[in-house]
């Protein structure tokens, strides 16, 4: 109870002190939009008849670089189509972000880590100053690219990409390709999305043989699968990205 009383008395005395102090006022200096307009563009700040600054400008919430690593083996045709169908909803959620979107495959035997070309000839999609027309085209470009023609051919005639899914290694290889450098931006968030229906190389470290994910070819049904290498392990992604791009 003493503590409460002392606190109340101290507060009361301070209130009296401020209440009896002389209060001075000064006129608010003239509002100026010059500095703000110099930074954000003319017309971003205007002075209203009431003498108030009125601000009108747009800004992006942040930057994100999204790398999709898609399994292009035969079993993925249906999954690829599902991803394509759901992508419009996904990209709608990113409309306020300054994004980069690129796609690679889990097949590292041919052009490992190389960004797939979109129908517009670009290696990644972007829309830095949101434009609805670009937004709609980006949806179409992604849908046409995520559905892999080699996957469909494999499903139909058996001419297939490698069934040795190595998505993590493919991402590591993407880091190291010089032509991909403009995709990764300093200060941007990096998101890597793996789309597959099988484990990496189908064998956990230290396991000699496994039948977790057997190949579609029955002649190879009892084959021994490769063990993951260092570049197939998740922690290698963080180490390699840090060494190459020095994120802060």
Give me the pLDDT at residue 30, please. 43
Domain residue limits, the chain = 31-58, 63-245
Give me the pLDDT at residue 59, please. 55
Give me the pLDDT at residue 116, please. 95
Contacts of 233 by beta carbon, 8 Å cutoff, 6+ apart: 168, 205
- How would you class 67 by CB atoms within 10 Å of its CB: exposed for 0-12, middle for 13-18, buried for 19 or more? buried
Give me the pLDDT at residue 7, please. 37
Give me the pLDDT at residue 53, please. 76
Give me the pLDDT at residue 88, please. 95
Give me the pLDDT at residue 186, please. 87
Question: pLDDT of the chain along its 248 residues, tens only?
Answer: 433 333 333 433 333 434 444 545 444 444 577 877 777 676 678 877 877 777 776 655 689 999 999 988 777 888 899 999 999 999 999 988 999 999 999 888 877 899 999 999 999 999 998 899 999 999 999 999 998 888 777 756 666 666 677 889 999 999 999 999 899 998 899 999 998 877 666 544 444 444 444 544 545 545 556 677 888 888 888 888 888 776 55
Q: How many secondary structure helices (H) and strands (E) does the chain include?
A: 7, 6
pTM: 0.66
Would strands 53-55 and 189-195 be described as parallel, antiparallel, or unpaired? unpaired
Residue of 96, 97, 106, 93 lying closest to 67 (CA atoms): 106
CATH T-level fold of 63-245: Rossmann fold (3.40.50)
Alpha-helical (H) ranges within 72-204 are: 77-92, 132-146, 149-157, 167-176
Give me the pLDDT at residue 33, please. 78
Which helix or strand (DSSP H or E) is residue 103 part of?
strand 98-105
Give me the pLDDT at residue 153, please. 76
Backbone angles phi, psi at 195, to 5 degrees: -120, 105
Phi-psi region of 111 (alpha: psi -120 to 50; beta: other; left: phi over 0): left
Give me the pLDDT at residue 9, please. 37
Give me the pLDDT at residue 57, please. 64
Give me the pLDDT at residue 180, please. 92
Give me the pLDDT at residue 223, please. 52
Give me the pLDDT at residue 122, please. 97
Contacts of 131 by beta carbon, 8 Å cutoff, 6+ apart: none
């Amino acid at each position: 109870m003493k503590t409460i009383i002392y606190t109340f008395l101290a507060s009361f005395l301070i209130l009296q002190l401020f209440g009896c102090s002389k209060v001075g006022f000064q006129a608010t200096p003239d509002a100026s939009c010059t500095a703000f307009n110099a930074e954000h563009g003319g017309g971003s700040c205007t002075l209203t008849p009431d003498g108030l600054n009125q601000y009108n400008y747009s800004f992006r919430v942040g930057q994100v670089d999204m790398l999709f690593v898609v399994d292009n083996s035969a079993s993925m045709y249906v999954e690829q189509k599902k991803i394509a169908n759901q992508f419009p909803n996904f990209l709608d959620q990113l409309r306020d972000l300054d994004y980069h979107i690129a796609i690679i495959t889990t097949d590292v035997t041919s052009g490992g880590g190389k960004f797939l070309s979109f129908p517009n000839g670009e290696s990644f999609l972007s829309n830095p100053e949101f434009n609805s027309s670009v937004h709609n085209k980006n949806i179409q470009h992604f849908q046409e690219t995520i559905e892999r023609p080699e996957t469909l051919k494999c499903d139909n005639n058996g001419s297939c990409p490698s069934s040795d899914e190595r998505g993590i290694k493919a991402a590591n290889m993407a880091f190291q390709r010089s032509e991909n450098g403009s995709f990764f931006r300093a200060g941007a968030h990096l998101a890597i999305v793996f789309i597959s229906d099988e484990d990496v190389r189908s064998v956990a470290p230290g396991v000699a043989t496994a039948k977790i994910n057997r190949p579609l070819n029955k002649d190879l049904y009892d084959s021994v699968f490769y063990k993951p290498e260092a570049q197939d392990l998740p922690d290698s992604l963080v180490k390699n990205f840090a060494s190459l791009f020095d994120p802060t």
